[in-house]
Amino acid sequence: MIRVTVPVGDRAYEVVVGRGVRKLLPDVLPAGVRRVAIVTQDRIPVDVDAGVPSEAFLLGDGEQAKTLASVAALCSHFARMGLTRTDAVVAVGGGMVTDVGGFAAAVYHRGIAVVHVPTTLLGMVDAAVGGKTGVNLPEGKNLVGAFWQPAAVLCDTEVLETLPEREWRSGYGEMAKYHFLTGDDLSAMPLDDRVARCVAIKAAVVAGDEREEPGRSPSQGGRALLNYGHTLAHALEIAGSHDLRHGEAVGIGLVFAAELAQTLERIGPERVAQHREVVAGYGLDTELPPGLDGRELLELMGRDKKALGGLTFVLDGARGMELVDGIDPRVVGATLARLGAP
């Protein structure tokens, strides 16, 4: 069992990683909790015992259920079961469940404690850690939300045994990202250690920039660093009908960010090769899916919420990772064309 602290001032909390750690739930609930609302999904075969009376509420599956209506329904359930400010929510699921359950906890009675039990790899290394919660609007993803740090996070790697193949791949894409954020060699680590190391890297970034303050650069420890590989990934998720899971798109986005950094003479070919090796090592595609329209991708990347004049990428270089904005779209377009999307 590995414990990682997320050092966010008086809201600091522990992330526990290991097989069977969901059984620690009664120990990590804040003192005085008398009742617990468990938020989960139908198809998640994970039982938790809070050690106090609890009721479970099921969310629908997928992004289309990640709505304010789901939050309203949850809060009504909480009210009907008589949940008070000194009780707690426990979110048991992937990023969808921890985002929605966390946001409901952030707003119910102006904020009650939440413990996350992430059940996907992506949830463990990314979504459940760092305090971002929220839901989608018809106008876009994650447009409504709150920063609400959990009281604890239990990453029980035993529950990954039932995780579908595609969801493993999606988690691996985010995991691949962490290989490049620090100098660590994650490749040789067993799964539990690797999950814990990814959590520790995210925790360090989050601690330096808990609320993603505008105007900070990743070289100053900014949270935007966590978007490495994501500029193209977000465009790939929208463009065409390629049905890429988020992490699968991130894998391709990481390779693209390296290729772009090379075009801009920030890194050499060996470092690009290293990106390809790490991403391929997780069984993920490193090439752009066939038949993509480079102009469409450029336009989508221009609309990315982090773009303020020119295109914005987190890029590798001699000084490490940096948030680079104002990148000439023609340079990005030429790199896309070189990789098969003219």
d(Cα 63, Cα 281) in Å, to the nearest integer?
28
Dihedral (CA of 170, 173, 178, 181) sign: negative
Should residue 67 be labelled a site residue for ligand NAD when binding is judged by CB under 6 A? no
Known catalytic membership, residue 270: no
Q: Which of residues 234-263 bind ligand NAD (CB under 6 A)?
A: 246
- Among 87, 99, 248, 316, the residue binding ligand NAD under the rule CB under 6 A is 99
Active-site pick, 66, 77, 116, 246: 246
- Among 18, 101, 123, 251, the residue binding ligand NAD under the rule CB under 6 A is 123
d(Cα 203, Cα 191) in Å, to the nearest integer?
18
**Strands laid side by side in the 2-6 sheet:** 2-6, 13-18, 152-156, 113-118, 88-93, 36-41, 54-59
Q: Which of residues 160-179 bind ligand NAD (CB under 6 A)?
A: 162-164, 167, 170
Residue closer to ligand NAD, measured from CB, 179 or 245: 245
Q: By beta-carbon distance, which residue lies closest to ligand NAD? A: 95
Query: Least distance from C-beta 266 to ligand NAD, angstroms?
Result: 26
Query: Least distance from C-beta 263 to ligand NAD, angstroms?
Result: 28
Count the helix, strand and coil residues of the chain and give each as a percent rounded to the nearest 5: 45, 20, 35
Nearest to 100 by CA among 57, 67, 52: 67
Should residue 126 be labelled a site residue for ligand NAD when binding is judged by CB under 6 A? yes
Q: Which residues, at least 6 apart from 134, have a Cβ–Cβ distance to it below 8 Å?
A: 99, 103, 142, 143, 144, 145, 146
d(Cα 41, Cα 70) in Å, to the nearest integer?
12
Query: Least distance from C-beta 247 to ligand NAD, angstroms?
Result: 7
List, by residue number, the catalytic residues.
110, 132, 174, 202, 212, 223, 227, 230, 234, 246
Residues that bind ligand NAD (CB under 6 A): 41, 43-44, 46, 61, 63, 66, 93-97, 99, 119-120, 122-123, 126-127, 130, 132, 142, 159, 162-164, 167, 170, 246
